[in-house]
A and B are shown apart, each in its own frame.
Chain A
Amino acid sequence: MSLRLRLLLIIGLPFVLLWLAASTWMLIDLRTEFRAALDERLAASAHMVIGLVAQLPPTPVADMSPLRPMPSIGALSGVACEVRQLRGNIVARTGNSPERLGMALPGYRTRTIDGERWRSFTLEQNGLRVTTADRVERREQLLYGVARAASIPVLIAMAGSLLALALGVRTGLAPLERIRAALAAREPGALQPLPHSRVPFELGPLVTTVNALLARLASALERERRFTGDAAHELRTPLTAVKTHIQVARLCTDAEGTGEALAQAETGVNRLQRTIEQLLILARLDAPFPLDNQDQGRANAIARSAIAQITPALQSRIVIEQKGTDGALALPSDLAVTALRNLFDNALRHSPQGSEVLLRIENADGQVSFCVEDRGAGMSDDDIACSVERFWRKGRGHGCGLGLSIVDTIVQRYGGELALANRAGGGLSAHLRLPSAAG
C-alpha cells in the first residue's frame, strides 16, 4: 500500500466516521426536539381553542344539533382542529380535519384515520373536547427539510476537508515523491548520488546513507574495474613479449639472433610466472575462507626461507642483524616468507648494485618486527602513500606492482603493520611488524 493511501486512510477514515457519528447524533436530537416542539404547538393550539370557546356566550345545548351547518374554519398551517361536546356533538372543526378526529382519549395520540396518519392532542374541559392534530407525513416533511438544510453544509465541509487532506498529504509527501521519481528514472547501473537539496529533515539521514552507499559501491566497482584492467595489462604485456620474441626467433636466420630472442622470451615467461604467482597469492588472501596452510614458523627460519627464494647472485647482499629471542609468528609461515621476500625484492631492485640490504629482526611486545633497510634513493611521501595500491609501481619495468599490496593485505588480515620511511642517511626502511604467537 502506498504511503499516501495509508496516510489518507489513517487520517481520513476516523475523520469521516467521527463526522458521521456527530451528524447522526445531531439529527437524532433535532428530530426529538422538533417533534416535541410540534407537539407543544398542538397542545398550545388546543388550550387556545378551548379558552376561546369558553368566552363565547352560552348557547342552548339543544341548538347544537348535529344537523346545523357546522362552522368551518380554514385550515391553519396544516393544523386540524375539532371541537366536540362530551356527549358527542361536533361543535366546530377545521376544513382539513377528518371525520372521527375528536374520538380520542385526552393526551397525545398517533392514529391512522382514513389511511392517513395523524398526531393529535385532545383536551377535555368545560364539557368540551378539543382535539388538534397534524398530519404525520407533513411533520416528517418538515423534519426532512430541516435535517437536509442542516446536513448539506456539514457534508460540503466534510468533502472539503477530505480534499484538503488529500492535497495536504500529497504536498507533504512531495519530497519523498521526488526521491522516488529520481530513483525510478535511474538507469539500473547508475551510481551518481541522489539529489540532496530540499530534502526534509527526516529524510536527510536516508539520502545521506544511500549516497554514502552509492559512493562506496562506485569506488568498489571502480577499484574492481581498474584491478581487472591492470591485471589484464600485467598479464598481456609479458605475454606479448614472449609471443613476439618467439616469432622473432622463428624469423631469424642466424643462431645468435635466435638465441637472443629465445632468451628474451624466457625473461618474459619468468615475468609472467611471477605476476601470476603474485596474483594467486592476492586471490588467496582476498578469499573469505581460512588458508589451507596453517603451520607457523619462527622469525629466523622465515628470514632464511625468504632469502633462499631470492636470485642466488643477490643473496649475499642481505645482512641480518638480530635482537631478542627467535619469536614464533602467529600467521602461516608461507605468507610471512612471501611478505618478507617482497620487501627484499623491492630493496634489492631500488638500491645501487652490490649495495648492502640490512634486515633487522626484533622480538618485543608480542610482535616480531622485520626491518628491511636499503641504500637506494628512497621514496617521496606521495609515493609512499600510494605504494600499497595494487599495480602501483615506482618507475618503469620494475616488478609487477603487487609486492607491497600483498604485504599490506597480509598485515591487514593478521593484524600486523607495515611502515615505509626514508632513512636519515639515505635509502628506504620498510618496517614489517607481525603478531607473534604466544609462547
Chain B
Amino acid sequence: MHVLLIEDDELVASGILAGLRLSAITVDHADTAKWADTVLATSAFDIVVLDLGLPDEDGMALLQRWRSAGKDWPILILTARDGVNDCVAGLRAGADDYLLKPFDLAELVARLHALHRRAAGRSVDVSEHGALRFDQASCIVTLHGQPVELARRELALLQALLHAGKRILSPDQIKDCLYGMTDNVESNAINVHIHHLRRKLGPRIVETVRGIGYRLGKAGT
C-alpha cells in the first residue's frame, strides 16, 4: 500500500511517517498543496492522507479541486479543527474517512487498511489465495497454516500483487508500491524482492509476463 501524507507540520509528519513505515506501509510526504499535486502527477498512490490546514491552499479547496477533476483515489482527512462541521464538509466534498487530531497511530493504520481493502472490494483484512493467507492488519503471512517470515518490502510486494488480483503490474507500478519517492532504489531491487518472495512462497507465486510486468500466480507449489 502506497500512501501520500499531505501535512504541513514537520513534527507531526515525521511521527506519522515513522509510524506508517513501522506498520509496513510505503509512505511519501508532501508539505504543501503544490508539492502534493506534483507528487500525485508523477507517482501512483493507493490512499491520500490530507491535513486540512495547509499553508498554500485550504485542504478543503484542494479536495474539491481533485474531486471535480475526477481524481478518485481514497482520501482520509486529518484535522485539528474543532467540531464535526469540518469533517462533515470534508466527507461531503468527497473524502472517504476522517480522523481528528490527536489520534491513535493504530487507528490511522486500521483506517488506511479499511480504505485500501474497500477500494479493492474486500470487506476483511485477511486475503486468502490458495494455500496462502495474509492478514494485512497484523502483517502475518501463513502458507499451509505455517507462518512465513517476510521482510517489509516483501510484504508490500505481496500486498500489491494480491490487491491487483489478475491484473498485470508493471515494474514501475511495483516500484511505486514498494518505495517512497525519496527512497534510493537499486535497478535490480524489485527482482531481488521477487526472488525472495518466490523462495519463501513457492516459485510460481509471481508470474513473469515478458515485456510487460508481473502477475500473481499460484502459492506454495
Binding site for B on A (CB under 8 A): 228-229, 232-233, 236-245, 247-248, 251-252, 257, 260-261, 264, 267-268, 271, 395-397
Contact digits for B95-121, partner A, Cβ 8 Å, 1 yes 0 no: 000000111111000000000000000
- The 8 Å CB contact of A233, one of B18, B22, B31, B80, is B80
For B102, the closest partner residue in chain A by CB is A240
Contact between chains at B80 and A248 (CB < 8 Å): no
Distance A245 CA – B11 CA, assembled complex (angstroms): 9
For B13, the closest partner residue in chain A by CB is A241
Distance A271 CA – B9 CA, assembled complex (angstroms): 12
Contact between chains at B22 and A248 (CB < 8 Å): yes
Contact between chains at B80 and A237 (CB < 8 Å): yes
What's the nearest-Cβ distance from chain A to residue B56, in Å?
9
Q: Which residues of B contact A251 (CB under 8 A)?
A: 19, 22-23, 105
Known A-B contacts A232-B80, A261-B15, A264-B15; A241 and B9 likewise in contact (beta carbons under 8 Å): yes
Contact between chains at A245 and B31 (CB < 8 Å): no
- Report whether over half of chain B's contact residues are helix, strand or loop; otherwise say mixed: loop
Distance A24 CA – B17 CA, assembled complex (angstroms): 101
Does B14 sit within 8 A of A, measured CB to CB? Answer: yes
For chain B, which range describes its interface: under 10, 10 to 19, 20 to 34, or 35 or more residues? 20 to 34
Contact between chains at A237 and B81 (CB < 8 Å): no
Known A-B contacts A240-B101, A241-B9, A247-B106; A232 and B81 likewise in contact (beta carbons under 8 Å): yes
Does B8 sit within 8 A of A, measured CB to CB? Answer: yes
What's the nearest-Cβ distance from chain A to residue B208, in Å?
34
Contact between chains at B19 and A264 (CB < 8 Å): no
Does B186 sit within 8 A of A, measured CB to CB? Answer: no
For B12, the closest partner residue in chain A by CB is A241
For B82, the closest partner residue in chain A by CB is A232
What's the nearest-Cβ distance from chain B to residue A252, in Å?
7
Distance A391 CA – B71 CA, assembled complex (angstroms): 33
Distance A237 CA – B78 CA, assembled complex (angstroms): 11
For B32, the closest partner residue in chain A by CB is A396
Q: Which residues of A contact B12 (CB under 8 A)?
A: 237, 240-241, 244
The number of A-B residue pairs with CB atoms under 8 Å apart is 80
Q: Which residues of B contact A243 (CB under 8 A)?
A: 102-104
Contact between chains at A257 and B80 (CB < 8 Å): no
What's the nearest-Cβ distance from chain A to residue B108, in Å?
9
Q: Which residues of B contact A271 (CB under 8 A)?
A: 11
Distance A256 CA – B85 CA, assembled complex (angstroms): 41
Contact between chains at A396 and B55 (CB < 8 Å): yes
- Report whether over half of chain A's contact residues are helix, strand or loop; otherwise say mixed: helix
Contact digits for B4-31, partner A, Cβ 8 Å, 1 yes 0 no: 0000111110111011001100000001
Does B94 sit within 8 A of A, measured CB to CB? Answer: no
Distance A257 CA – B14 CA, assembled complex (angstroms): 12
What's the nearest-Cβ distance from chain A to residue B99, in Å?
10
Contact between chains at B8 and A247 (CB < 8 Å): no
Contact between chains at A395 and B102 (CB < 8 Å): no
Q: Which residues of A contact B102 (CB under 8 A)?
A: 236, 239-240, 242-244
Distance A238 CA – B106 CA, assembled complex (angstroms): 18
Contact between chains at B18 and A397 (CB < 8 Å): no
Q: When A and B form their complex, which 4 residue pairs have the shortest distance between CB atoms, in order from nearest? A: A244-B15, A236-B80, A241-B11, A240-B102
For B16, the closest partner residue in chain A by CB is A244
Contact between chains at B11 and A238 (CB < 8 Å): yes
What's the nearest-Cβ distance from chain A to residue B88, in Å?
15
Distance A242 CA – B31 CA, assembled complex (angstroms): 19
- The 8 Å CB contact of B82, one of A229, A247, A396, is A229
Contact between chains at B15 and A248 (CB < 8 Å): yes
Q: Which residues of B contact A232 (CB under 8 A)?
A: 80-82
Does B213 sit within 8 A of A, measured CB to CB? Answer: no
Distance A325 CA – B23 CA, assembled complex (angstroms): 64
Distance A397 CA – B31 CA, assembled complex (angstroms): 11
Distance A345 CA – B27 CA, assembled complex (angstroms): 34
- The 8 Å CB contact of B81, one of A233, A242, A245, is A233
- The 8 Å CB contact of A264, one of B8, B14, B53, B80, is B14
Contact between chains at A264 and B101 (CB < 8 Å): no
What's the nearest-Cβ distance from chain B to residue A6, in Å?
46
What's the nearest-Cβ distance from chain B to residue A243, in Å?
5
Known A-B contacts A247-B106, A248-B15; A228 and B8 likewise in contact (beta carbons under 8 Å): no
Contact digits for B69-93, partner A, Cβ 8 Å, 1 yes 0 no: 0000000000011100000000000
Distance A257 CA – B17 CA, assembled complex (angstroms): 12
Q: List 18 A-B contacts (CB under 8 A).
A: A229-B82, A239-B101, A240-B101, A240-B103, A243-B103, A243-B104, A244-B102, A245-B15, A247-B104, A248-B105, A251-B105, A257-B18, A261-B15, A261-B18, A264-B14, A268-B11, A396-B9, A397-B8
What's the nearest-Cβ distance from chain B to residue A242, in Å?
8
Known A-B contacts A232-B81, A396-B8; A237 and B18 likewise in contact (beta carbons under 8 Å): no
Contact between chains at A248 and B18 (CB < 8 Å): yes
Contact between chains at B105 and A247 (CB < 8 Å): yes
Q: Which residues of A contact B105 (CB under 8 A)?
A: 244, 247-248, 251
